[in-house]
């Protein structure tokens, strides 16, 4: 799985003009299941995201996790994180997981964050979504489960 994590002051996702998920301070996580992701990948990635220390402490150092600050997480599926841009001008997405399994892994990721005690809002898998955010910092982190042993 791939995740693009943004520290936010607030974030919201809308479908057809209707707000379906919003958070205050916390993380916006854009996530993509990749072909070959094992069944345990969502829980492992969720644990890494939950422990990621990118929030400021009293010394103004990035030393606190989203749980430490009492923040929330907005999880939005984004298959375009699988983009292959090595050739040509049109990205390819053949390494993204098939939609049916991709949705299962996406939902498991969101549930794994909930199981860790985090408040989680979500987008709608496969929908045309409008995501708005106020990036805090800005702080943006890339994670790929394939990069970790």
Q: What are the tens digits of pLDDT across the range 52-87?
A: 999 999 999 999 999 999 999 999 999 999 998 998
- Known active-site residue 111: no
Which of 80, 95, 111, 125 is the catalytic position? 80
User: Measured on CA atoms in the order 80, 81, 83, 86, is the torsion positive or negative?
Assistant: positive
CATH number at residue 65: 3.50.80.10
- Write out the two tokens for 89: 């001008």
Write down the catalytic residue from 41, 78, 109, 122: 78
Tell me: pLDDT of 149 over 60: no
Q: What's the structural domain count of the chain? A: 1
Asked about 6 being catalytic, the answer comes back as: no
Given the residues 41, 79, 109, 122, select the one marked as catalytic: 79
Domain extent at residue 110: 2-85+92-147
- Tokens (6 digits) for 48: 């890494």
| Whether the Cβ atoms of residue 68 and residue 35 lie closer than 8 Å to each other | no
Average pLDDT over residues 12-32: 98
pLDDT digits (tens, 9 = 90+) for 83-108: 989 988 999 999 999 999 999 999 99
pLDDT at 63: 97
Q: Is the pTM of this model over 0.85?
A: yes
What's the CA gap between 56 and 54, in Å, rounded?
A: 7
> Is 78 assigned a catalytic role?
yes
> Distance (Å, rounded) from C-alpha 134 to C-alpha 149?
33
Give the model's pLDDT for residue 148: 60
């Amino acid at each position: 799985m791939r995740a693009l994590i943004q520290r936010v002051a607030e974030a919201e996702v809308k479908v057809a003009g209707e707000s379906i998920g919003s958070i205050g301070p916390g993380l916006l996580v854009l996530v993509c299941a990749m072909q070959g992701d094992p069944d345990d990948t969502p829980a492992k990635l969720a644990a890494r995201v939950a422990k990621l220390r990118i929030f400021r402490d009293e010394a103004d150092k990035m030393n606190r996790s989203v749980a430490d600050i009492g923040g929330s997480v907005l999880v939005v599926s984004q298959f375009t994180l699988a983009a292959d841009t090595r050739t040509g001008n049109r990205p390819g997405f053949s390494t993204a997981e098939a939609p049916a399994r991709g949705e299962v892994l996406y939902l498991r990721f969101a549930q794994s964050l909930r199981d860790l005690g985090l408040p989680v809002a979500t987008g709608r898998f496969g929908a045309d979504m409008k995501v708005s955010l106020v990036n805090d910092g800005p702080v943006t982190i890339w994670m790929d489960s394939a990069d970790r042993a």
